[in-house]
Amino acid sequence: MSIPSDKNLERLLDFTAIKHKVISQNIANAETIGYKRREVEFKELLNNNLSALNKKEKKTEVQIKIDEQSPAVYGTNNVDVNKEMADLAENSILFKFAAKKINGYFQTLQNVIRGGNR
Q: Minimum mean pLDDT among 13-17, 51-55, 63-67: which range?
A: 51-55
Task: Indicate the pTM of the whole model.
Answer: 0.74
pLDDT category at 63 given cuts 50, 70, 90 is confident
What residue spans of the chain are helical by DSSP H?
Answer: 8-28, 42-54, 81-114
User: End-to-end alpha-carbon separation of the chain, Å?
Assistant: 17
Please list the residues that pair with 115 across neighbouring strands: none
> 3-class SS at 38?
strand
